[in-house]
Structures are given as C-alpha cells and as structure tokens.
Structure 1
Amino acid sequence: MDVPALLLAMPAFLGAVLLIAATPGPAVALVVRRAALRGSAAAVPTVLGLEAGLFVWALLAGAGVAAAVAASQAGFLVLRAVGAAVLLWLGGRALWRALRAGPVEEPGAAAGPVRRRWGGAFAEGLLVQLANPKLAVFMIAFYPQFVPAGSSPLVTAALLGLLQVTVETALYLGLAAGVGRAGSWFRRPRVRRGLDATSGAVLVGLGVRVAAASR
C-alpha cells in the first residue's frame, strides 16, 4: 500500500466526511429523536448501529459488491424498495406516536428490558444504513478516489471506513450529548408530539425520495 499517497489524501477525505456527516438525513434524524426522548446514553446503540452499517458498505465497496448492486437494475431496485420501506415504516411509526400522544418515557425507565432496547436501537440504525441505496452509490463513487495506485481496494476501503466511522461516531455522540442536555424540555408532551411529527415527516419524506430516486 502506498501509505504516503494515502496520507496526502486524508485532508480532502476528512473534509468530505465532515460535510457528509453534518448533512441532515435519516442518521441525524434517528440520533436526534432518540437522544431527545430517551437521553444521550440511549442514542449510543443507534449511533453504533449506523456506523456498523456504514463500515459494512465500505467493505462491500472495497470488494466490488456495492458496484455490482448499483450496476444491476434489479438489485438496485430491490435495495431502493427496501430502503424506502424502512424509512416509511420508521416515519409512520413516529407520526403514529405523535397522533396517539401516549405517555412520555423518562430515561432509565423500565430497567428490565434495557438490553432489548439497546439491541432494537442498534438494529434500527444498522437497518437504515444497510437499506440505503444512496449510500451504496456514494461509496462506489467516493472511496475509489482515495485508493492509491497499486493498493488493495478492500484494505484501503476498510481503513477509510474505520476513519469515517471514527469521525462520524464522535460527531453523532456529540450531537446526542447536546440534545440530551435539553432532554427534559424535549420530553414535555407538546414538544415531544412536535418532535415525533417533525422527525416522522422527515423520515417519510426521505422514504418517498428514495422510492422515487434514480441512480
């Protein structure tokens, strides 16, 4: 591997990663909503799930699988349909909670099923990333630009993926901590309903965009 060439490309890579991570999307919506309603600690598994999904796509991009999926009309159509369904389901669930206006759960409540809740939050984040067709297209267009000539695409993609995961994890956990500090305000019934309605509308809108988007 041409390490000096890879290091020279890092400033551009990190700048692009920061811009991508700061762009509002399903990941940001999930992290904000979970941190606002259940506290910053409850957003940790969501962030880990999102970043696990990102790293999987990085490996698939390095192995050429992501390119094959994006190039296959049927494969991309299936991925797009699954991605849209996941986002519409998450958005619809949030909108239903806003309409139902049930009781607000405080952070730390129901200590018994904590492991199950963490598992569900991790799986939610993972599923959102794995079912994101735009992420597959992004990976095959973005990562190859930073693979030095003569280097292994898989190894380089794994290293770049780890770097992106590290940066995004720090940013999302910082976002969760900031939102979590205002948790008591977010958990007021009227504010919580507004947050559910807003995040639900955002996720449904993103789902519609994914369903209608082309490559």
Structure 2
Amino acid sequence: MDLLATLPGFVVAVLLISASPGPAMALIFRRAALHGLRATVPTVLGLEAGLYVWALCAGAGLAALVAASEVAFVVLRVAGALFLLYLGLKAWHTAWRSRAHTEAATVTSIPEGQPRWAGAFVEGVVVMLANPKAAVFMIAFYPQFVPADRPLLATTALLAAVQVLVETAFYLTLAAAVGRAGAWFRRPVIRRRLDAVSGTVLIALGLRMATTAR
C-alpha cells in the first residue's frame, strides 16, 4: 500500500470527521459567533495541538495503554466531562447575566469577557486531551492508512500533520463564515439564546461523555 495513494481517502475521512457534531464543533461555533474569527484562531490551534499529541501517543503506543487502562480511561473521561460541564454552565451563566444588560446595546458592540489568546488555546487543548475517546479513535483510525513497510510513529506523525492542516483550514473557514454574521449573533437577545443553546449542548456532551462506556 503506497502512502500517497491513501492520502485522498485520508483527507476525505478527516473532513467527514471534522464536520461531525461534537465538543470541538460546539466550542468553535460559539467562539466564532460571539467573538469573531480572530478570537477563534487560538481555540482551533489548541484543539489541533491536543489532537496532534494524541496522534503521537497513538503512534508511540501510549494511547493504546490509556485505552486499555480502565483507571486512566475513567479518569480522563470524568475530567473531560467535568470540563465540558464547566464550559456549559459558564455559557448558561453568561446568558443569565446578560438579562441585566439593556436591549438598547448596539449590535456591533464587543461582548464582555473577550477571551484571551492563551486562555482560549489552553481551553482547546484541554477539551481535546481530556477526551479518552480521542485515544480510542486514533488507535482505530490511523493504522488503516499506515503502510506495513513504513515506521508507525513517523508515518502517524506525518498523517497527523496532514489532519491538523486539513482540520485547521476547515474550522477557520467555518469560523470565518459564522463570524461574518457576528453582528447579528451579538444582538443581546440572540446572544442570550446562543449562550443558552451552546451551554445546553456542552452540558449534554459532558453528560454523554460521563455516562458513555467505551
């Protein structure tokens, strides 16, 4: 099996996976809607940094150890679920607090709490690394595209770099499209509803992560 021959199928699979609903998509959509493309960049980079770490762990065999260890799997699952619940509750708190804001606020005003780059980046990294399903996914996904005659770690690192580039381009394109409607999303009533909906989605994802077995 030639690596170059498998790349088109790999890229298509990555795009389909990137477009599927999940914590990453919910985080990116909310960030882009409320803060615009520029503020979404560190979130995307953080998510992709976490993904690349999991890919390297998969290539080195460490992800398999995490997936095989019941204790490590449960610890990561609970930590990831708690972090998603925290993000969801924070969004709900923002929605509740915004009720006190005047409806006369201008639609182009920047919302309070504009995220810092470092905080947004760390948030993305934690969301990805605290998801044990990512370890299981890497173990099942990458070997399908690694030729038998190629070194596993080096080839996995190369494929992961391709995935990071593809996903970064996809997510930033999505963020740019959502960000164009940012003025509409930042209307007080719309922002409040978006915070409530995104908070509900994040809480639901956190509960699903906490209760779903391997």
Tell me how far apart the structure 2 counterparts of residues 152 and 213 of structure 1 sit (CA, whole Å): 34
What is the aligned counterpart of 2:72 among 75, 80, 94? Answer: 75
1:181-192 matched pairs, under 5 angstroms = 181-192=180-191
When the two structures are aligned, how many residues end up with a matched partner? 208
Q: CA deviation at 1:65?
A: 0.5
CA shift in 2, pair 1:99/1:108, >3 Å: closer
Structure 1 residue 9: Cα displacement: 1.1
CA distance in 1, matches of 2:29, 2:81: 20
- 1:66-85 Cα shifts (integer Å, max 9, x gaps): 01000011111111111111
Whether the 8 Å CA contact 1:38–1:106 is kept in 2: the answer is no
Choose which of 34, 47, 50 in structure 2 pairs with 1:50.
47
Q: Structure 2 matches for 1:85-164, cutoff 5 A?
A: 85-101=82-98, 106-107=109-110, 117-164=116-163
Quick one: distance in 2 between partners of 1:109 and 1:89? 19
Match of 1:197 in 2: 196
- Segments of structure 2 that go 5 or more residues without pairing to the other structure are none
Determine the structure 1 residue equivalent to 2:58. Answer: 61
TM superposition outliers: structure 1 runs of 4+ over 2 Å: 102-110
Question: 1-side partners of 2:36 and 2:150: how far apart?
Answer: 43
TM-score (norm 1): 0.92
Mark the CA change 1:84 to 1:12 in structure 2 (over 3 Å): closer, same or farther: same
Partner of 1:208: 207
C-alpha separation in 1, matches of 2:124 and 2:109: 21
3-state DSSP of counterpart to 2:122: helix
Normalising by structure 2, report the TM-score: 0.92
Per the alignment, in what secondary structure is the counterpart of residue 163 of structure 1?
A: helix
1:151 & 1:135 partners in 2: Cα distance? 23
CA distance in 1, matches of 2:198, 2:111: 22
Distance in 2 of aligned mates of 1:123 and 1:10 = 30
Percentage of pairs with the same residue = 62
Q: Deviations over 1:107-129 (max 9, x none)?
A: 4989xxx8x80000001111100
Q: Distance in 2 between matches of 1:168 and 1:106?
A: 30
Q: Note the aligned Cα RMSD (angstroms).
A: 1.9
For residues 118 and 173 of structure 2, what CA distance do their matches in structure 1 show?
A: 21
Q: Deviations over 1:156-211 (max 9, x none)?
A: 11011100000000011001101111111000011001110111111110101110
Counterpart CA distance in 2 for 1:47 and 1:92 is 21
